[in-house]
C-alpha cells in the first residue's frame, strides 16, 4: 500500500524535476539547455506555481548533485540546516550536517537507490524528529543518478503523541492490574473455604467491592478524559449562580468530608455570577473539593471562595500538608501522584486534576496551584469574564 508520505514524495519529485528543468540549473557540470519551449508562457506559469508551492510547504526539501552539493532547497530546509543563511545552494552536504544517516541516504540516492523511513533527529534548541525520503533523479548511463532529492517530513508531534499513548496505556494497565489482582486473590481465598467464616468473608467481600469500585471509577475517568481530549465535549456556557453551585457540590461531598473530619466552607457571596458550562464547572469543583478532602488534615477545612479581576477566579483552599515544589509543575499530568500509596488508598484514579485542567482550557481559562509545606494548597480556576 502506498503511504501518504510516499505519495507526497512522488508528487514532489515530479514537481522538482520540472522546476529544476525550467530553472535550467541542475548540475553545474551538465547544464540543461534552455529551449524555446521552456520559455513558453504556460511553462513559466507552471514553474512559478511549483516554486510557490515548494516555498510554502512545511516539509524540508533538498536536492544535491553528484558532487553532493546542494542545487536546490526550500525555506523549510534552510530552517532545518542553517536558518542564518539566505541560500544553501553550492554548499556540500557535509557542511550542512554531520548526521551519518542523512549522508548515507543521499549517497544511496546518487547510486540509484530509493531510501524511505529514515528517522532523523535534531538536537538543537528543540528536539525535532523527521522522516527522510530520498529518491534518485535522472540517470547517467549506468553510473548512478544525476542527483538526489530528499524530503524531510516533520513527525515530531506524531512521535510525541505516540510516546504519550504508550505511557497512557502503560499507566492504565498498571492502575487496573492492582485492584484486579486484589479481587482475584480474595475470590480465590473465598473459594478455598474462607466463605464459611462469616466475619472473614464479609471483610473480603468489602475489599473486593472497594477494588471493583476503584476500577469502575478509573474506567469512567479514562472515558471522560478521552472524550474531552478528543474534542467530543461541547460547552454550553451561560451565567451561573456560583454560590448555589458551590452549596450543591458541598452538600454532595458532605458525607465524605464528615468521614474524614473535614469541614467544608462556602465563602462565595450569594450574588456572584460566573460565565461557564454549569455541569462542567460543577465537575471541576467536585474534583478539586474531593482532592482537598483527601489531603486535608483531620479536623481540617476546605474553603471555596471567589475573587474578581481581569478574569473570574474560583479558589479551593485546604490546610493540609502542602505539596513539595518539585511536584507542582507536573501535578495536572495524567496519573501523576505526589503520594501514590495515599492516593490509591483513598480511591484516587490519578486523572481528576487532568480532567480539571482540560475542562478549564475548554472554557478558554486555566487552573493553577500554589502550595506551602505545612500550610496547605490552593487550586484556582481562572475563567473569562461574562461577555
Instruction: Tell me the pLDDT tens digit for each residue of 264-322.
Output: 999 999 999 999 999 999 999 999 999 899 888 888 999 999 999 899 999 999 988 88
pLDDT of residue 254: 92
**Residue carrying C-alpha cell 511536584:** 327
Same domain, 98 and 171: no
Same domain, 43 and 146: yes
Number of structural domains (the chain) is: 3
Look up residue 220 and give its three cell numbers.
Answer: 469512567
pLDDT of residue 33: 40
Please choose, from the candidates 84, 72, 101, 86, the residue with its C-alpha nearest in 3D space to the C-alpha of residue 13: 72
Query: Could you read off the pLDDT of 194-209 as tens digits, one per residue?
Result: 777 778 888 888 888 8
Beta-strand relationship, 376-384 and 311-318: antiparallel
Same domain, 143 and 286: no
Residue 61 has pLDDT above 70, yes or no: yes
Mean pLDDT of all residues in the chain? 79
Q: How many Cβ atoms from other residues are within 10 Å of residue 221's Cβ?
A: 20
Q: What letter would DSSP give residue 272?
A: -
Same domain, 239 and 227: no
Q: State which of 154, 177, 201 marks the end of a domain.
A: 154
Same domain, 149 and 165: no
Q: For residues 198 and 348, what is the distance between their CA atoms, to the nearest angstrom? A: 30
Across the range 167-184, mean pLDDT stands at 78
Same domain, 78 and 218: no
Q: What letter would DSSP give residue 89?
A: T
Residue percentage of the chain with pLDDT more than 70: 79
Residue 17 has pLDDT above 80, yes or no: no
Same domain, 108 and 130: yes
333 compared with 9, residue with greater pLDDT: 333
Look up residue 91 and give its three cell numbers.
Answer: 554548499
pLDDT of residue 76: 80
pLDDT of residue 232: 79
Look up residue 200 and give its three cell numbers.
Answer: 472473614
Q: State which of 232, 260, 289 marks the end of a domain.
A: 232
Same domain, 13 and 56: yes
pLDDT band at 3 (very low <50, low <70, confident <90, very high): very low
Please choose, from the candidates 249, 291, 284, 312, the residue with its C-alpha nearest in 3D space to the C-alpha of residue 376: 291
Beta-strand relationship, 301-307 and 263-266: parallel
Across the range 117-124, mean pLDDT stands at 73
Give the CATH number, domain containing residue 191: 1.10.287.130
Query: Could you read off the pLDDT of 211-267 as tens digits, one per residue?
Result: 888 888 788 878 888 777 777 788 888 999 999 999 999 999 999 899 889 999 999
Contact 342, 304 (CB under 8 A): no
Q: State which of 104, 127, 154 marks the end of a domain.
A: 154
Contact 315, 302 (CB under 8 A): no
pLDDT of residue 2: 43
Q: How many Cβ atoms from other residues are within 10 Å of residue 55's Cβ?
A: 11
**Owning domain of residue 241:** 235-387
Same domain, 183 and 208: yes
Amino acid at each position: 500500500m502506498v503511504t501518504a508520505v510516499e505519495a507526497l514524495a512522488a508528487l514532489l519529485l515530479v514537481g522538482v524535476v520540472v522546476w529544476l528543468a525550467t530553472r535550467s540549473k541542475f548540475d553545474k557540470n551538465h547544464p540543461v539547455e534552455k529551449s524555446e519551449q521552456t520559455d513558453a508562457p504556460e511553462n513559466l506559469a507552471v514553474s512559478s506555481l511549483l516554486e510557490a508551492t515548494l516555498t510554502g510547504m512545511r516539509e524540508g526539501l533538498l536536492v544535491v548533485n553528484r558532487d553532493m552539493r546542494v542545487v536546490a532547497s526550500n525555506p523549510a530546509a534552510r530552517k532545518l540546516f542553517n536558518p542564518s543563511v539566505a541560500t544553501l545552494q553550492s554548499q556540500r552536504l557535509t557542511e550542512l550536517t554531520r548526521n551519518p544517516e542523512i549522508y548515507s541516504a543521499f549517497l544511496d540516492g546518487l547510486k540509484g537507490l530509493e531510501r524511505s523511513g529514515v528517522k532523523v533527529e535534531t538536537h538543537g534548541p528543540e528536539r525535532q524528529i523527521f522522516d527522510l525520503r530520498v529518491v534518485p533523479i535522472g540517470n547517467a548511463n549506468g553510473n548512478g543518478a544525476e542527483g538526489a532529492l530528499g524530503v524531510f517530513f516533520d513527525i515530531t508531534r506524531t512521535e510525541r503523541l505516540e510516546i504519550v499513548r504508550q505511557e497512557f496505556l502503560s499507566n492504565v494497565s498498571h492502575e487496573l492490574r492492582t485492584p484486579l489482582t486484589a479481587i482475584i486473590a480474595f475470590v480465590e481465598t473465598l473459594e478455598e473455604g474462607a466463605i464459611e467464616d462469616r466475619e472473614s468473608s464479609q471483610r473480603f467481600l468489602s475489599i473486593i467491592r472497594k477494588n471493583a469500585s476503584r476500577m469502575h471509577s478509573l474506567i469512567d475517568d479514562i472515558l471522560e478524559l478521552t472524550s474531552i481530549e478528543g474534542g467530543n465535549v461541547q460547552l454550553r456556557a451561560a451565567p451561573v449562580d456560583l454560590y448555589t453551585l458551590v452549596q450543591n457540590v458541598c452538600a454532595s461531598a458532605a458525607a465524605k468530608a464528615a468521614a474524614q473530619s473535614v469541614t467544608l466552607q462556602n465563602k462565595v457571596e450569594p450574588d456572584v455570577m460566573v460565565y461557564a458550562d454549569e455541569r462542567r464547572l460543577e465537575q471541576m469543583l467536585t474534583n478539586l473539593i474531593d482532592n482537598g478532602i483527601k489531603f486535608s488534615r483531620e479536623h481540617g477545612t476546605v474553603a471555596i471562595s471567589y475573587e474578581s479581576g481581569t478574569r473570574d477566579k474560583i479558589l479551593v483552599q485546604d490546610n493540609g500538608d502542602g505539596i513539595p515544589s518539585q511536584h507542582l509543575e507536573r501535578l495536572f499530568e495524567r496519573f501523576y501522584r505526589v503520594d501514590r500509596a495515599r492516593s490509591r488508598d483513598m480511591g484516587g484514579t490519578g486523572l481528576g486534576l487532568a480532567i480539571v485542567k482540560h475542562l478549564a482550557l475548554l472554557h478558554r481559562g486555566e487552573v493553577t496551584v500554589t502550595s506551602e509545606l505545612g500550610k496547605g494548597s490552593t487550586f484556582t480556576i481562572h475563567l473569562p469574564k461574562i461577555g
